[in-house]
Chains A and B, each alone.
Chain A
Amino acid sequence: AQRVTQPEKLLSVFKGAPVELKCNYSYSGSPELFWYVQYSRQRLQLLLRHISRESIKGFTADLNKGETSFHLKKPFAQEEDSAMYYCASLYGGSQGNLIFGKGTKLSVKP
């Protein structure tokens, strides 16, 4: 069964420090991968997806098929980045089966 693993429940860094939120997936095919973010008192929303190869709010994520990883990175964290981050996967064989990891709470301290 497909699975998305986020090993860290909580990640705390200081403002200006680099951030890496880890995500690993278990599937031998070609999943579509996403990072979603939930800021305090806001809806869960898409941050970025791997097929777009985009940088949003300074965040990037690279798909590493060899390591089955899709880690989210930002070189210089800002306080407004504090939020819950969820990695999610969608498999081509079943476009409706959108699976989320358990989430990582990022806390950026001043």
Chain B
Amino acid sequence: GAVVSQHPSRVICKSGTSVKIECRSLDFQATTMFWYRQFPKQSLMLMATSNEGSKATYEQGVEKDKFLINHASLTLSTLTVTSAHPEDSSFYICSARKVGFRDSGRGYEQYFGPGTRLTVT
């Protein structure tokens, strides 16, 4: 299998505080993980690519100082929303790709976590 977990599933925080979201690949190693943001009834917007042992790559328009990403091991990436504001309220989903997975057409697939619902009050 290829299971990705996220913690917490839901979090409510006060404006100005920071929140950390964890993304774990449970049964495989992932050198690369991805963080997405999804507003209600909208698409998944790629925020950043998390690379194990190196700095994350952020998409245009995403503030790297606000959304801190750390990929300290082959099974864990964390997203910290710093100084959260109500407009940061959203559904955050991570995904991961397997390391060294070879198949005739696979190896490209991303496995998604269940998402984290962040509400900033």
A and B bind: no
